[in-house]
Amino acid sequence: DMKVTQMPRYLIKRMGENVLLECGQDMSHETMYWYRQDPGLGLQLIYISYDVDSNSEGDIPKGYRVSRKKREHFSLILDSAKTNQTSVYFCASSLSTALPAEVFFGKGTRLTVV
Protein backbone atom coordinates (compact mmCIF):
# COMPACT_ATOMS: atom_id res chain seq x y z
CA ASP A 1 0.00 0.00 0.00
CA MET A 2 1.65 3.23 -1.19
CA LYS A 3 1.52 5.91 1.44
CA VAL A 4 3.10 8.88 3.11
CA THR A 5 2.87 8.81 6.88
CA GLN A 6 3.13 11.86 9.11
CA MET A 7 3.63 11.92 12.84
CA PRO A 8 2.23 13.35 14.96
CA ARG A 9 -1.14 14.35 13.49
CA TYR A 10 -1.79 17.02 16.07
CA LEU A 11 0.70 18.97 18.14
CA ILE A 12 0.51 21.89 20.56
CA LYS A 13 3.74 23.64 21.49
CA ARG A 14 4.66 26.72 23.45
CA MET A 15 6.41 29.61 21.77
CA GLY A 16 10.16 29.09 21.90
CA GLU A 17 10.01 25.30 22.07
CA ASN A 18 11.63 23.13 19.44
CA VAL A 19 9.35 21.15 17.15
CA LEU A 20 10.08 17.99 15.18
CA LEU A 21 7.67 16.80 12.50
CA GLU A 22 8.36 13.39 11.04
CA CYS A 23 7.46 11.97 7.66
CA GLY A 24 7.95 8.57 6.09
CA GLN A 25 7.15 7.00 2.75
CA ASP A 26 7.19 3.39 1.64
CA MET A 27 7.49 3.93 -2.12
CA SER A 28 11.28 4.43 -2.37
CA HIS A 29 10.60 7.86 -3.82
CA GLU A 30 13.65 10.03 -4.43
CA THR A 31 11.94 13.36 -3.88
CA MET A 32 10.19 14.55 -0.74
CA TYR A 33 8.62 17.86 0.18
CA TRP A 34 7.33 19.86 3.11
CA TYR A 35 4.45 22.26 2.52
CA ARG A 36 2.41 24.36 4.90
CA GLN A 37 -1.23 25.23 4.39
CA ASP A 38 -2.86 28.35 5.73
CA PRO A 39 -6.46 29.48 5.10
CA GLY A 40 -6.81 31.19 1.75
CA LEU A 41 -3.20 30.62 0.74
CA GLY A 42 -3.16 27.12 -0.61
CA LEU A 43 -0.01 25.10 -0.03
CA GLN A 44 3.34 26.80 0.17
CA LEU A 45 6.61 24.95 -0.34
CA ILE A 46 9.00 25.07 2.61
CA TYR A 47 11.72 22.62 1.54
CA ILE A 48 12.33 20.04 -1.14
CA SER A 49 14.65 17.07 -0.84
CA TYR A 50 16.00 15.37 -3.94
CA ASP A 51 17.54 12.47 -2.04
CA VAL A 52 19.52 11.75 1.13
CA ASP A 53 21.35 14.88 2.32
CA SER A 54 20.32 16.77 -0.84
CA ASN A 55 17.90 19.45 0.29
CA SER A 56 16.89 22.79 -1.17
CA GLU A 57 14.93 25.75 0.13
CA GLY A 58 11.43 26.30 -1.14
CA ASP A 59 9.46 29.52 -1.14
CA ILE A 60 9.17 30.03 2.63
CA PRO A 61 12.15 28.34 4.36
CA LYS A 62 12.76 30.97 7.05
CA GLY A 63 12.39 29.52 10.52
CA TYR A 64 12.60 25.92 9.33
CA ARG A 65 15.24 23.33 8.66
CA VAL A 66 15.06 19.78 7.41
CA SER A 67 16.90 16.51 7.71
CA ARG A 68 16.96 13.54 5.38
CA LYS A 69 19.36 10.80 6.43
CA LYS A 70 17.41 7.92 4.87
CA ARG A 71 15.54 7.99 1.57
CA GLU A 72 12.26 6.98 3.21
CA HIS A 73 12.36 9.53 6.00
CA PHE A 74 12.19 13.35 5.94
CA SER A 75 11.99 15.56 9.02
CA LEU A 76 10.97 19.19 9.46
CA ILE A 77 12.46 21.03 12.42
CA LEU A 78 11.33 24.31 13.91
CA ASP A 79 13.96 25.73 16.23
CA SER A 80 12.25 27.99 18.75
CA ALA A 81 8.73 27.89 17.37
CA LYS A 82 6.81 31.10 16.78
CA THR A 83 3.07 31.71 16.92
CA ASN A 84 3.01 32.53 13.19
CA GLN A 85 4.18 28.99 12.49
CA THR A 86 0.78 27.72 13.59
CA SER A 87 -0.40 25.90 10.48
CA VAL A 88 -1.12 22.55 8.90
CA TYR A 89 2.03 20.93 7.58
CA PHE A 90 1.97 18.44 4.74
CA CYS A 91 4.72 16.10 3.74
CA ALA A 92 4.71 14.72 0.22
CA SER A 93 6.78 12.51 -2.03
CA SER A 94 7.23 11.78 -5.71
CA LEU A 95 9.25 9.30 -7.70
CA SER A 96 11.67 11.88 -9.02
CA THR A 97 11.72 15.52 -10.03
CA ALA A 98 13.15 14.38 -13.36
CA LEU A 99 9.65 13.19 -14.20
CA PRO A 100 6.27 14.95 -13.94
CA ALA A 101 5.21 12.18 -11.61
CA GLU A 102 2.24 12.19 -9.27
CA VAL A 103 2.93 13.71 -5.88
CA PHE A 104 1.56 11.75 -2.92
CA PHE A 105 0.61 13.63 0.23
CA GLY A 106 0.49 12.64 3.86
CA LYS A 107 -2.57 13.43 5.96
CA GLY A 108 -0.97 16.49 7.52
CA THR A 109 0.14 17.62 10.96
CA ARG A 110 -1.85 20.39 12.61
CA LEU A 111 0.62 22.42 14.66
CA THR A 112 -0.54 25.03 17.15
CA VAL A 113 2.06 27.28 18.74
CA VAL A 114 0.74 29.10 21.81
Partner 1 sequence: AQKVTQTQTSISVMEKTTVTMDCVYETQDSSYFLFWYKQTASGEIVFLIRQDSYKKENATVGHYSLNFQKPKSSIGLIITATQIEDSAVYFCAMREEGFASALTFGSGTKVIVLP
Q: Can you tell me which of 90, 93, 111, 113 binds partner 1, judged by CB under 8 A? A: 90
Is residue 52 a contact point for partner 1 (CB under 8 A)?
Answer: no
Alpha carbon distance 15, 72 (integer Å): 30
Per-residue contact flags (x/-) with partner 1 for residues 62 to 81, judged by CB under 8 A? --------------------
Three-class secondary structure of residue 83 per DSSP: helix
Phi, psi of 25, deg, nearest 5: -140, 150
Q: Which of 42, 53, 62, 70 binds partner 1 (CB under 8 A)?
A: 42
The answer to whether 41 contacts partner 1 (rule: CB under 8 A) is yes
Residue count of the chain, please give it.
114
Binding region for partner 1 (CB under 8 A) out of 20-28, 68-76, 79-87, 96-104:
96-104
- Interaction between residue 12 and partner 1 (CB under 8 A): no
CA angle 88–114–20, rounded 5-degree value: 55
Residue 12, C-beta contacts closer than 8 angstroms, at least 6 positions apart: 111, 112, 113, 114
Q: Which residues bind partner 1 (CB under 8 A)?
A: 33, 35, 40-45, 48, 50, 56, 58, 88, 90, 97-98, 100, 102-105, 107-108
